[in-house]
Amino acid sequence: MSNALMQTHDASTMAGLKTDQLFINLGPQHPSTHGVLRIGLTIEGEVIVKAVPDIGYLHRGTEKLSEVRNYHHCVVLTDRWDYVSAMPNNLVFCLAAEKLAGVKTTPRADALRVIMCEMNRIASHLLFFGTYGIDLGAYTPFLYAFREREMVLDLFEMLCGARLTYNYIRLGGVMVDASPEWLKRTSEFLEYFKPRLDEYDTLLTYNPIFMARTKGIGIVSAAEAKDWALSGPNLRGSGVNYDVRKFAPYSGYENYDFEVPLGKDGSCWDRYFCRVSEMRQSVRIVSQAIAKLPEGPFQASGFAKVPKPIAGESYANVEASRGDLGIYLASDGGISPYRMHVHAPSFINLAMLQDKLVGMKVSDVIALLGSIDIVLGEVDR
């Protein structure tokens, strides 16, 4: 297959010119592989002939570690997968464990979970927005994105004391209740943040150079996206309307009014635009959740401090910032999971690189890799 691609490429640009191929290691230490991804690139001039992604540099064996920890302790491990948006990780594990242990959460806990997950989606997409700009050589949007991301993280710190690995969502509810002051400041932030999104559009989204670099680059058709089992904005960028929040609502997402932004042709720009638009929807969801935050306990009561679910298995999935994050938990009746498996969106999204990179230019590698928005912590786990 790569042979065929090489031939077309030869016919179109090189016209019989015999050139040597060059093998370069893109990563694991490289400014724009977003962590420790390594891609072995074989290039001819600027054009990629072969790309071999190599992962595993950040493998910490969290799935195995969970087998010797109880369900509360496992939540701490989940923070370390997708460390840019750890709330959905907490949430998905708790949902799976709650299913297994038969714990029913309170409405206030559900709403707080939604608020935190959506705020984290904003923080995560802001990081994407900033680093994607840097990937394409625009340094300024990064600082603007971080200015706002800092506020989200401050809000998180205000509530749960952590800025990155929160361990906030716990079995049966959340760690701590949101004070009225916190809710007020969050609303303030949302008001402040809405015009900032328009600012981002002027900074990057509709910049002609940015559009030239991303529109029509790295096109993933809807069929391909489904074949590769992509999820999240990568799938929706290709125009496939699939969002776990709509498709199989959890934590009361069905109560909120929001849209699922879709891309058109699945190019890098569409994936980027999906994420930027998702931030707007997240703002809507958080505003609604704060407006109708139910009173009541933030923690379910009446279940064992150290849950010991009966033997069985459960699966829960949520729409994390990077896609459909799923957890499969199997219990043998002990205090720790018998087996935990993570259906990690970054890992699955990454898989298409190998085919998609062939025939691209070196600069487009970065554009595509950035637009997939992987977090290596989740890829390697």
Residue 256 beta carbon to other proteins: minimum distance, rounded to whole angstroms: 23
175 binds other proteins (CB under 8 A): yes
Q: Which is nearer to other proteins, 150 or 201 (CB)?
A: 150
Distance, in Å, from the CA atom of 34 to the CA atom of 20, rounded to the nearest integer, reads 29
- Interface residue with other proteins among 19, 56, 154, 206 (CB under 8 A) is 154
Cβ density class 280-289: b for 16+ within 10 Å, e for less: bbbbbbbbbb
188 binds other proteins (CB under 8 A): yes
143 binds other proteins (CB under 8 A): yes
160 binds other proteins (CB under 8 A): yes
Q: Which is nearer to other proteins, 229 or 362 (CB)?
A: 362
181 binds other proteins (CB under 8 A): yes
Site size for other proteins, by CB under 8 A? 61
Residue 230 beta carbon to other proteins: minimum distance, rounded to whole angstroms: 23
Residue 155 beta carbon to other proteins: minimum distance, rounded to whole angstroms: 9
Mutual angle of helices 180-200 and 107-135, in 10-degree steps: 30
151 binds other proteins (CB under 8 A): yes
Binding mask 300-319 for other proteins (x = CB under 8 A): xxxx-x--------------
- Interface residue with other proteins among 207, 222, 328, 354 (CB under 8 A) is 207
Residue 242 beta carbon to other proteins: minimum distance, rounded to whole angstroms: 30
44 binds other proteins (CB under 8 A): no
341 binds other proteins (CB under 8 A): no
361 binds other proteins (CB under 8 A): yes
20 binds other proteins (CB under 8 A): no
209 binds other proteins (CB under 8 A): yes
- Interface residue with other proteins among 7, 21, 24, 310 (CB under 8 A) is 24
Q: Give the neighbor-by-neighbor strand order of the sheet with 323-331.
A: 312-320, 323-331, 339-343
Segment contacting other proteins (CB under 8 A): 48-56, 61-69, 172-180, 256-264? 172-180
CA 255 vs CA 87, 144, 186, 219, 250: distances in Å: 20, 32, 20, 34, 10
Interacting residues with other proteins between 268 and 297 (CB under 8 A): 297
Paired tokens of 1:
């297959």
Segment contacting other proteins (CB under 8 A): 19-27, 236-244, 260-268, 276-284? 19-27
Residue 218 beta carbon to other proteins: minimum distance, rounded to whole angstroms: 12
- Interface residue with other proteins among 63, 364, 373, 378 (CB under 8 A) is 364
Residue 213 beta carbon to other proteins: minimum distance, rounded to whole angstroms: 6
C-alpha 83: how far from chain center: 9
Segment contacting other proteins (CB under 8 A): 92-100, 150-158, 233-241, 263-271? 150-158
Residues in Cβ contact with 26 at an 8 Å cutoff, skipping those fewer than 6 apart: 33, 38, 39, 40, 41, 365
204 binds other proteins (CB under 8 A): yes
Interacting residues with other proteins between 75 and 134 (CB under 8 A): 133-134
Q: Which spans of this chain sit near other proteins (rule: CB under 8 A)?
A: 22-24, 30-32, 46, 72, 133-140, 142-144, 147, 150-151, 154, 157-161, 170-172, 175-177, 179, 181-182, 185, 188-189, 191-192, 204, 207, 209-210, 212-213, 297, 299-303, 305, 361-366
